[in-house]
């Protein structure tokens, strides 16, 4: 295995920047997920690492080699695609053996590598079957096996679970995570599903509009989003964002709404609000950090129930607060109804504040 370094990587199509000066390092044996909405540049970035499309600028290193100008076959990488790309008329054994035959390896070495990969992925009993006789999950394992037999320095995976049903996706997430743990493989994994990234990756690179927004561990991206985009994209449900105005009242700083209510800020949050470029401040809150009350309590603000979604052990509700929708999680015994007036209490220790102009997270200075 090997580390992968992207340095100021650029890909343009005419005047459009599909990838805009992306720099990041994937450590040897690390699982990194490229995540973001459709069109954010994540698949283009993966294809640049693979050499499937030419770069407009920057460099890619795999191990100690600059591979920017090398063909894909010379980069020592293996790709796993969302459509599996198996040969329908070849058995599983022959699908696994094919890339090794192309390298003209001895027959006994091919057999050893195929059997070893099949054992790791628990598909030994499927070796004589053809792809049409396999389930989606089994086909995905064969696709992984075909990459594994090549013993590459880096595995590149492009939304490999997107064709599977929900239950099988959960199972295959575990399979790929175990695959990574057992092999200590260097993996770059593209997904639009942030839950896949959070549950599987050592680090996640959040992209939007061709730019790398944040590159960190899933826990840190979740707890400390650098801007409003990351805050609103990572998390299920996503962080709620409420545009407000910061006003100084003597020694106190309060957030005010267009409806006229005020939310006094703690000293630490007051410092953050005062560091904004203007008085426009956006309050961010995760669903689990907010408390709902039927009657007003100190520090609470008014809201109106929009929808209620019971899921069994947790009930999710959407609450109109000012001009925004607030996601909140409740115990299954809490009874609320659409259009009911309620009061919302924010946890000042776990509240996030963003600059309403730059959309960047505010820090106490």
User: What is the per-residue pLDDT across 120-169, written as a single tens digit (0 to 9) for each?
Assistant: 888 999 999 999 999 888 888 898 888 888 888 999 999 888 877 778 78
Supply the pLDDT for residue 85. 81
User: What is the per-residue pLDDT across 19-30, written as a single tens digit (0 to 9) for each?
Assistant: 999 999 999 999
* Higher pLDDT pick, 162 / 266: 266
Name all contacts of 258-262 with Cβ < 8 Å and 24+ positions apart: 258/322, 258/323, 259/302, 259/322, 261/301, 261/302, 261/322
- Over range 26-39, report the average pLDDT: 95
Supply the pLDDT for residue 173. 86
Q: What is the pTM of this model?
A: 0.88
pLDDT at 328 over 90: yes
User: What is the chain's mean pLDDT, rounded?
Assistant: 92
φ and ψ of 12, to 5 deg: -120, 150
Within 8 A by CB and 6+ apart from 65, the residues are none
Task: Establish whether the linkage from the previous residue to 189 is cis, with ω within 30° of 0.
Answer: no
pLDDT at 84 over 80: no
Under 8 Å between Cβ of 233 and 206: yes
**Domains of the chain: residue spans and CATH:** 4-227 (3.40.50.300), 237-355 (2.40.50.140)
User: What is the per-residue pLDDT across 193-236, written as a single tens digit (0 to 9) for each?
Assistant: 888 899 899 999 999 999 999 999 999 999 999 999 999 999 88
The b/e string for 295-311 (b: 16+ C-beta within 10 A; e otherwise) is: eeeeebbbbebeebeee
- Over range 348-360, report the average pLDDT: 96
- Over range 236-258, report the average pLDDT: 93
Q: Tokens at residue 71, please?
A: 């063909």
pLDDT level of residue 40 (50, 70, 90 thresholds): very high
State the Cα–Cα distance between residues 68 and 139, nearest whole angstrom.
32
């Amino acid at each position: 295995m090997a580390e992968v370094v992207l340095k100021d990587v650029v890909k343009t199509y005419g005047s459009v920047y599909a990838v805009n000066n992306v720099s990041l390092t994937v450590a040897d044996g690390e699982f990194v997920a490229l995540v973001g909405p459709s069109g954010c540049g994540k698949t283009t970035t993966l294809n640049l690492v693979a050499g499937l499309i030419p770069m407009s600028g920057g460099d890619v290193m795999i191990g100690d080699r600059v591979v920017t100008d090398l063909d894909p076959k010379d980069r020592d990488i293996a790709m796993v695609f969302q459509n599996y790309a198996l040969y329908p008329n070849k058995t599983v054994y022959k699908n696994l053996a094919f890339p090794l035959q192309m390298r003209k390896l001895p027959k006994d070495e091919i057999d050893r590598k195929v059997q070893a990969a099949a054992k790791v992925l628990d598909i030994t009993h499927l070796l004589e079957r053809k792809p049409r006789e396999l389930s989606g999950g089994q086909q995905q394992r064969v696709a992984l096996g075909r990459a594994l037999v090549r013993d590459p320095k880096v595995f590149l995976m492009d939304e490999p679970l997107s064709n599977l049903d929900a239950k099988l996706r959960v199972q295959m997430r575990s399979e790929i995570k175990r695959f990574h743990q057992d092999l200590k493989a260097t993996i770059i994994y593209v997904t639009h599903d942030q839950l896949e990234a959070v549950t599987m990756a050592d680090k996640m690179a959040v992209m939007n509009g061709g730019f790398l927004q944040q590159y960190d561990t899933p826990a840190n991206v979740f707890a400390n989003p650098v801007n409003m985009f990351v805050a609103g994209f990572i998390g299920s449900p996503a962080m709620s964002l409420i545009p407000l105005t910061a006003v100084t009242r003597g020694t106190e700083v309060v957030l005010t709404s267009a409806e006229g209510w005020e939310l006094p800020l703690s000293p630490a949050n007051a410092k953050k609000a005062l560091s904004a470029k203007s008085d426009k401040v956006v309050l961010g809150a995760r669903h689990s950090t907010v408390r709902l009350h039927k009657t007003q309590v100190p520090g609470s603000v008014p809201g109106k129930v929009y929808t209620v979604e019971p899921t069994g052990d947790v009930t999710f509700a959407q609450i109109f607060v000012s001009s925004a929708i607030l996601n909140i999680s409740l115990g299954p015994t809490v009874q609320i109804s659409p259009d009911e007036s309620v009061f919302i209490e924010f946890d000042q220790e776990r509240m996030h504040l963003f600059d309403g102009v730059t959309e960047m997270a505010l820090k106490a200075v």
